[in-house]
Amino acid sequence: MLPAHPLSGKRVVLGVTGGIAAYKAAVLLRELQKIGADVRCVMTPSALRFLGRDTMSALTRQPVPSDVFPDDADISESWSRHIHWAEWADLVLIAPCTANTLAKITHGHSDNMVTSLVLAARCPVFLCPTMDGGMYEAPATRMNRELAKELGFQLIEPDHGYLASGLEDTGRLPEPHEIISRLAGFPGFTDYKPLLGKKVTVTAGPTREYADAVRFISNPSSGKMGVAMAVAARDLGAEVTLIHGKLSVPVPAGVSAVPIISAGDLFEAVKAQHEVTDIFIMAAAVSDFRPKQRALHKVKKEGAAMNIELEPTPDSLKWLGENRLDHQILIGFAMETENLIPSATEKRKKKKADYIVANSISGDASGFETDENEVHLIGPLGEPASYKGSKEDVAFSVLRAVFGNEVERG
């Protein structure tokens, strides 16, 4: 049986503050519940303008207080709720945490249920600073972020991307799975770190093989599965290097990134990691062919040849299989449109990998550019095991399945 999620059974108080990202807190709450956390919710009065109290109350089956002294409740019962809930919690998570609440928390204010509960908490408190425009980099906010770290709060940095104002900047609330994986990776919450002390190299995303200055052969890989594998390896204790083509998601925190463009670059980067890597996870969607010639400038229509001569690219996984060091473990991926299991089983043997994670790209809900995936883990022993769900969950399941058991090479 797989070990439980590190947050399973943990008591979480989710504090929601008044930014537009508050609407995402309901999904975050559901995701926390799905992995077995017992969640209660508190909201600031301004959060109530973005998200209904009743929504969070129905989901948690608990009251959702916003004031320490509510107008409409029996004070004798509720006035010390900020203390009791703070004592009850194993962790407090403020998501989103506005610039205003960050400023209040770092200066000891206790003027509403969220700030009072944070002040009373003795457990780890995680803050997700989430704001728009120049607010995140404003000198005052920057100072408060530094102060928050000094005071022992755990900061989960925001993503860069499109903000509600229409600007593109840093300040987006990270996706629920990324927040949860940061919580799960907190050393205090789990001693299940089977990859502690291990160096893991993950490849992710597509390669580009240029024919001239602007045209290239590629594929629609988003890199999400490889990034999810990197996050899972990081959270299971590994030191992770991510060799990646163009990604549609950010490089996760706590992971060293090596950007590459072509299959040739990927091969060089993999070889550079060879001596120092214990586990390779090869999730990149590598182009098998590249144009034999690359024109320096954009080729003009007039007089252009109608054929592009191709040559094979180096196969990094195959090279690793043939040059493997004794202690190394190789996990490859196989994208297939037909004969999924037989083809992937054959690929495992041909490339001398320990495991192949096989996924079909023929369905709508798995493969390129999706958030969900269904994979089959083909190893040296027994029948393939199947995992289905978000790419993050699938990545965790695969690594736990592999590193919960001794690897025997076949």
Interface ranges with ligand CTP (CB under 6 A): 203, 263, 282, 284, 286, 288, 313, 315-317, 332-335, 347
Smallest separation (angstroms) from ligand CTP to the CB of 202: 10
- At residue 282, the 3 state secondary structure works out as strand
C-beta of residue 243 within 8 angstroms of C-beta of residue 272: no
Rounded distance between C-alpha atoms, residue 228 and residue 371, angstroms: 10
Angle between helices 81-88 and 113-120 (to 10 degrees): 50
Decide whether 92 or 282 has the Cβ nearer to ligand CTP. 282
Residue 59 near residue 14, CB atoms below 8 Å: no
Decide: helix, strand or coil at residue 168. strand
Tokens encoding 349: 């043997």
Residue with smaller CB distance to ligand CTP, 64 or 282: 282
Q: What distance in Å separates the CA atoms of residue 368 and residue 159, rounded to the nearest whole number? A: 22
Which lies closer to ligand CTP via its Cβ, residue 238 or residue 284? 284
Nearer to ligand CTP, 52 or 264 (CB): 264
* Residue of 195, 201, 277 whose CA lies nearest to 236: 195
C-alpha to C-alpha distances, 164 to 22, 102, 132, 171, 396, nearest whole angstrom: 12, 20, 7, 10, 31
Instruction: State the nearest-atom distance from the C-beta of 219 to ligand CTP, in Å.
Output: 9
Around Cβ 79, how many Cβ atoms within 10 Å? Answer: 13
CB of 218 within 8 A of CB of 282? no
Q: Which is nearer to ligand CTP, 171 or 321 (CB)?
A: 321
Q: How far is CA 264 from the centre of its chain?
A: 27
Give 10's contacts (C-beta < 8 A, 6+ positions apart): 37, 38, 90, 91, 189
CA distance 114 to 342: 55
DSSP structure class, residue 206: B
Report the residue number, 124 or 226, with the smaller CB distance to ligand CTP.
226
Least distance from C-beta 246 to ligand CTP, angstroms?
A: 15
- Please report how close the Cβ of residue 254 comes to ligand CTP at its closest, in angstroms: 23
Q: What is the DSSP letter of 330?
A: E
**How many angstroms separate the CA atoms of 388 and 382, rounded?**
19
Token code pair at residue 146? 């530094």
Q: What is the largest CA-CA distance in the chain?
A: 87
CB of 282 to ligand CTP, least distance (A): 3
Whichever of 231 and 334 has its CB closer to ligand CTP, that residue is: 334
Q: Residue 51 gets which letter from DSSP?
A: S
Alpha helices in 310-384 (DSSP H): 316-322, 340-351
Closest approach of ligand CTP to the CB of residue 387, in Å: 17
The residues, any chain, with a CB within 8 Å of residue 395's CB and separated by 6 or more, are: 225, 228, 229, 231, 232
Of 100, 144, 219, 323, which residue is the catalytic one?
Answer: 219
Check if 219 is active-site.
yes
Nearest distance in Å: CB 281, ligand CTP = 8
* Nearest distance in Å: CB 333, ligand CTP: 4
Nearer to ligand CTP, 222 or 313 (CB): 313
Query: What are the residue numbers of the active site?
Result: 219
